[in-house]
């Protein structure tokens, strides 16, 4: 980016490398060159993708390609320590940039600015709409009227991963029931009979749905009754430490496989196994959830259930654009199917741990 240095000397703009932009945009260097030089032969969609890549990489657009933003969009996410939330933020940012919108990222931190204050700040800045990722709408103990108030004021909103019956807005979610069923089926096929579930607090909608999916899958695939399945569920925090604590609990209950509600929890679960002198997957199999960045490079590489982040982000932005164009806010939920990614943290079921 151009600008004066500490001595007040104007420095030239950083020249973007065609190869880097091409990789980010998923196109050829020749296509990038045509876009940057305002030449023809490139579709509108491809042109917008290249420009969005340029923006995301921090380069300034060439003067002829600069344009005014179509408006500000508020993006409210939980803390960015969990890599799935930066993944959602980046995917939504890129989708917004492709349509000429400027995202305003508001990250909630424990003890930091609460969601309601972020909302007021965004309203003061005149945002055209808002996207909430795993916000208070996912907490069944939180008041839903905060969102109803936004809708009543004519503010377009889209809510991700946390359906609420009390909010007449569009929701975008991963199918948590299918996610857990994919994990349990994989473990059952490997010969595991005593499978545990490590999840967060039971007041959150994704947790409630995962528990429902776990009960169904354990009954249908392993013949485990609901009461017994409930004894194989451990509630903790969505963190490495939380996964460690939940895994210790489940190992003491004789589980030979653990399905975790997040990749960070799975990393903690693997550490708990090693602390007890158990190998993964030799003695215990572990499955994560999200398939966030670098998870393929853990030791061992983590089997996990992948959320379709880019598809969900695109759907959220498309839905928001429809609302901003005047479509009525309808109470519906778009549910996306996750994918099981098998790596090396799962293996054949060993003897029960005593």
Q: Do 181 and 291 belong together in one domain?
A: yes
Q: Do 303 and 181 belong together in one domain?
A: yes
Tokens for 284, please give them: 């215990």
Check pLDDT > 60 for residue 328.
Answer: yes
Tell the residue number behind the tokens 């880019």, with chain if given.
310
- Cβ neighbors of 75 (< 8 A, separation 6 or more) are 89, 92, 93, 96, 103, 104, 105, 106, 130, 131, 133
- Cβ neighbors of 124 (< 8 A, separation 6 or more) are none
Q: CA geometry: angle at 234 spanning 343 and 199, to 5°?
A: 55
Q: Do 224 and 299 belong together in one domain?
A: yes
In the DSSP assignment, the letter for residue 353 is P
Q: Do 192 and 300 belong together in one domain?
A: yes
Counting Cα atoms < 13 Å in the Cβ hemisphere of 17 gives 4
Q: Do 184 and 151 belong together in one domain?
A: no
Rounded to whole angstroms, how far apart are CA atoms 315 and 343? 28
Please give the model's pTM, rounded to 2 decimal places. Answer: 0.80
Q: CA geometry: angle at 191 spanning 185 and 192, to 5°?
A: 75
- Give the domain range for residue 44: 13-62
The count of other CB atoms within 10 Å of the CB of residue 124 is: 8
Check pLDDT > 60 for residue 56.
Answer: yes
At residue 53, the pLDDT reads 84
Q: Residue 297 domain-assigned?
A: yes
Whichever domain contains 144, its CATH number is 3.40.50.2300
Average pLDDT over residues 24-32: 90
Whichever domain contains 58, its CATH number is 1.10.260.40
Average pLDDT over residues 114-129: 93
pLDDT digits 0-9 by tens, 237-280:
999 999 999 999 999 999 999 999 999 999 999 999 999 999 99
Q: Do 77 and 118 belong together in one domain?
A: yes
Q: Do 119 and 219 belong together in one domain?
A: no
Check pLDDT > 90 for residue 304.
Answer: yes
Average pLDDT over residues 334-342: 98
pLDDT digits 0-9 by tens, 58-67:
777 776 666 5
Q: For the chain, how many structural domains are there in total?
A: 3
Q: Residue 283 domain-assigned?
A: yes
Tokens for 121, please give them: 């700040």
At residue 41, the pLDDT reads 85
- Residue 267 contacts residue 240 (beta carbons within 8 Å): yes
Q: Residue 160 domain-assigned?
A: yes
Q: Residue 4 domain-assigned?
A: no
Q: Do 208 and 303 belong together in one domain?
A: yes
Tokens for 144, please give them: 């839903």
At residue 14, the pLDDT reads 54
Q: Residue 29 domain-assigned?
A: yes
């Amino acid at each position: 980016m151009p600008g004066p240095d500490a001595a007040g000397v104007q420095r030239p703009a950083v020249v973007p490398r065609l190869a880097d932009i091409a990789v980010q945009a998923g196109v050829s260097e020749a296509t990038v060159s045509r876009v940057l030089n305002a030449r023809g032969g490139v579709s509108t969609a491809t042109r917008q993708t290249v420009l969005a890549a340029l923006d995301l990489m921090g380069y300034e657009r060439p003067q002829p390609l600069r344009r005014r933003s179509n408006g500000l969009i508020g993006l409210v996410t939980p803390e960015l320590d969990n890599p799935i939330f930066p993944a959602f933020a980046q995917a939504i940012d890129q989708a917004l940039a492709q349509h000429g919108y400027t995202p305003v990222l508001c990250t909630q931190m424990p003890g930091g600015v609460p969601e309601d204050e972020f909302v007021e700040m965004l309203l003061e800045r005149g945002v055209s709409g808002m996207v909430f990722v795993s916000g208070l709408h996912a907490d069944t103990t939180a008041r839903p009227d905060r969102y109803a108030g936004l809708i009543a004021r004519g503010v377009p909103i889209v809510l991700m991963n946390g359906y609420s019956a009390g909010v007449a807005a569009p929701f975008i979610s991963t199918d948590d029931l299918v996610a857990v069923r994919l994990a349990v089926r994989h473990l059952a096929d490997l010969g595991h009979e005593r499978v545990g579930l490590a999840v967060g607090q039971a007041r959150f909608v994704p947790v409630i749905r995962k528990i429902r999916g776990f009960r169904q899958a354990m009954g249908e695939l392993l013949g485990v009754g609901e009461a017994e399945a409930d004894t194989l569920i451990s509630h903790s925090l969505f963190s490495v430490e939380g996964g460690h604590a939940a895994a210790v609990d489940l190992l003491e209950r004789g589980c030979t496989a653990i399905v975790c509600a997040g990749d960070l929890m799975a990393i903690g679960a693997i550490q708990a196994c090693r602390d007890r002198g158990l190998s993964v997957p030799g003695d215990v199999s572990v499955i994560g959830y999200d398939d966030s960045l670098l998870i393929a490079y853990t030791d061992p590489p983590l089997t996990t259930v992948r959320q379709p982040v880019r598809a969900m982000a695109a759907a959220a932005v498309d839905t928001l654009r429809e609302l901003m164009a005047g479509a009525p806010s309808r109470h519906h939920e778009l549910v996306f199917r996750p994918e099981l990614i098998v790596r090396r943290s799962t293996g054949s079921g060993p003897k029960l741990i005593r």
